[in-house]
Amino acid sequence: MKELAKPYLTGHYTPVTDEITAHELTVRGTLPPELNGRYFRNGHNPKPGVTPAHWFKGSGMIHGIRLAGGRAEWYRNRWVRTPYLEKVPFHGTELEVSAAATSIIFHGGRYLALQEANLPWEVTAELDTVGVFDFGGKLTSAMTAHPKEDPVTGELHFFSYSPFPPYLTYHVADASGQIVRTQVIEGAGPSLMHDFAITAQHAVFMCSPVVFDHAEQSGIPYRWHDDVPFRVGVMPRESDRVTWFEVEQSTLLHVSNSYVDAHGRVVLEGPRFDRAAWESSWKWWVGAPAYGPSPLSGATLHRWILDPATGKATEAPLDSLNVEFPAINDAHTGIANRYSYAIAFPGAGLSGYHTVKFDTASGRQRLFSHGEHRMPGEAVFVPAAGSNNEDDGYLLTVVSDLKADASELLVLDAAELTTVATVELPRRVPSGIHGHWIEDTK
């Protein structure tokens, strides 16, 4: 019997087979004049003939769109040319052999492609590969694909996790990109820790029931274990003392935000997976029998409130939609925010893909339907010129259209979720993982 194609190599996720460059892209509507910079989006795109055992194991390809002066100057896509992609003899360390496929950031004057099991790989503003980057030899472990930049200090907070001791190590790099702090976090375990959070005063870590298990054969050796609790660690930034809170068993891949409320409690928000949702998603990621219709099934927006003074934790759902890839106005990273955005997947009453805006103060939601055969990517918030309100700005997302075999960069009004402009891309862009808007001033 012929083996079915893996879901992460079909439909919206079908890889492209080459690298192209196109100039002077067609724009429908009017691009806001303050959009001067680059939108970069990373994702898994294995070479033709390569079938990775897990969605997360595909080689990284970055898609870039340059906007300036109301024009879409260019589109280009490039593989991150690491030893993992090239499959050539390599004499460096295993940490350097990265798929470099999860995210791309800009910090300290460098564009860094990230994959959490490895060191970063640096690329240029035109997406050519420079090489592995280890912060001048100061980073000797892997780096998360979800660092957090403090909007006030410009510091970059990040971590590495491992199935073996030390399980968790925390790092801080200053605004120039120099590592100024490295610390082992006591009390952590061998959990899969894809993301974390910061507040203006804390680092917040999550040790979930998805832990190292050598029996997992997909290449990502982690499985859900019912006997392992979900614990959230809160550490004041000026201290090395972590308070661990045990909460209802669940897990999360991505954090929306975390902040300290008026009562001094740490609030953490993000899409929460129970065991059924996690295992349904995992089946899609590995292409196991009976996988669901989408890569992220059943996660719902949730809030945890952690009180360092009493050691008590409370939690509650914020919404029932099936969502993932949360985003906020990054100027609110670590401080109180009212609005967050996400992809709403089919299910929970929705028949297609939507971009959703949550008002976590009122509990209301606003939906933008992308239509049949169309799937949006993660929404990236860009502030409007002279913005005064948290949601004064734009959302950038690449939309894949299977019926048209094409893609667009969609610019939405972040307050109203209405279309501002659409950039026609010269090819279908596979649905990917994470991206960032990098202003020209940076």
Binding residues are 146, 194, 254, 434
Give a three-class secondary structure readout of the chain: CCCCCCHHHCHHHCCCCCCCEEEEECEEECCCCCCCEEEEEEEECCCCCCCCCCHHHCCEEEEEEEEECCEEEEEEEEECCCHHHHCCCCCCCHHHCCCCCCEEEEECCEEEEECCCCCCEEECCCCCEEEECCCCCCCCCCCCCCCEECCCCCCEEEEEECCCCCCEEEEEECCCCCEEEEEECCCCCCECCCCCEECCCEEEEEECCEEECCCCCCCCCEEECCCCCEEEEEEECCCCCCEEEEECCCECCCCCEEEECCCCCEEEEEEEECHHHHHHHHHHHHCCCCCCCCCCCCCEEEEEEEECCCCEEEEEECCCCCEEEEECCHHHCCCCCCEEEEEECCECCECCCEEEEEECCCCCEEEEECCCCEEECCCEEEECCCCCCCCCEEEEEEEEECCCCEEEEEEEECCCCCEEEEEECCCCCCCCCCEEEEECCC
Closest CA to 183 of 134, 106, 236: 236
Binding residues for Fe cation are 146, 194, 254, 434
